[in-house]
Copies of this chain bind each other. A is one copy, B any other.
Amino acid sequence: MTSEPASPRITVRRLPKRAAYDPATLHAILDEGLVCHLGFVHDGQPFVIPTNYARWGDFLLFHGAAGSRLARALRDGVPVCATVTLIDGLVLARSAFHHSTNYRSVVILGKAQEITDRAERLAALRAFVEHVLPGRWDEVRPPSENELKGTLVLKLPIREASAKMRSGPAVDDEEDYALPCWAGVIPLSLSAGAPEPDARLAAGTEPGERIAAYRRVRG
């Protein structure tokens, strides 16, 4: 974690020892996440919208219906903030004050650009599907010309970006360790249940191991 922050405004000032700026750390968090919270400003009011994304090299990809306000605002180059957060655990301390959350998050500032090249658009849409489930792209019907036409595909450089993380046990005040109160961490993770097959599955289709034993942790 030797990289330096790309700008003062992305530099983590609160608890800076929890920060990181190196690509390996940023990419690992982005590759594990499923939903990004995308912030933009309209008439002075911030809006934060959850949206799917994928990492594609040094870019974060977004897509949206060509008629979507959010996708059009991104295409028009409004300043955005893309934030991905993974919740890793509840930190139960002996005092109310020292309760905390274990987490890993990435914040990216910048402006998105539309991807217009046809081959690049297809590669980006492939990255979307593969981000959710590696190997899935080759199993499904690829986008039709109409579907391609109706979709805006956008990329945001992962350049002005920081990660922030907390891990490990509770940190209590020294005099509180004697309190007769259970303390520790409840680990949390986004876990998959048993796949629910579609009611109209074609005969003989099986989910396969990647779906039956889906795990979000990647890399």
Q: List the interface of chain A (C-beta within 8 A of B).
A: 9, 13-14, 34-35, 37-50, 52, 65, 67-70, 79-83, 85, 87, 89-90, 92-97, 99, 101, 103, 105, 107, 109, 125-126, 128-129, 132-133, 136-137, 139-144, 147, 151, 169-170, 176-202, 204-208, 211, 214, 216
Within the complex, the shortest CB–CB distance from A134 to chain B, in Å, comes to 13
Given contacts A45-B109, A211-B92, contact A184 B198 (CB under 8 A): yes
| The one of B14, B35, B185 that contacts A103, using a Cβ cutoff of 8 Å | B35
14 interchain pairs, CB-CB under 8 A: A13-B69, A34-B188, A48-B81, A49-B83, A90-B133, A94-B141, A96-B141, A97-B147, A169-B199, A180-B202, A182-B197, A184-B197, A186-B195, A186-B214
Q: Which 4 A-B pairs have the closest CB atoms?
A: A39-B46, A37-B37, A39-B48, A187-B193
Within the complex, the shortest CB–CB distance from A110 to chain B, in Å, comes to 9
- Further pairs besides A95-B141, A96-B129: 9, Cβ < 8 Å: A39-B39, A44-B79, A45-B109, A90-B214, A96-B137, A184-B196, A184-B201, A188-B190, A189-B190
Within the complex, the shortest CB–CB distance from A140 to chain B, in Å, comes to 5
Given contacts A103-B50, A182-B201, contact A34 B140 (CB under 8 A): no
Give how many copies assemble into the complex. Answer: 2
Alpha-carbon distance A208/B184, docked complex (angstroms): 12
Residues of B within 8 A of A179 (CB): 140-141, 202
Q: Is the CB of B186 within 8 A of A193?
A: yes
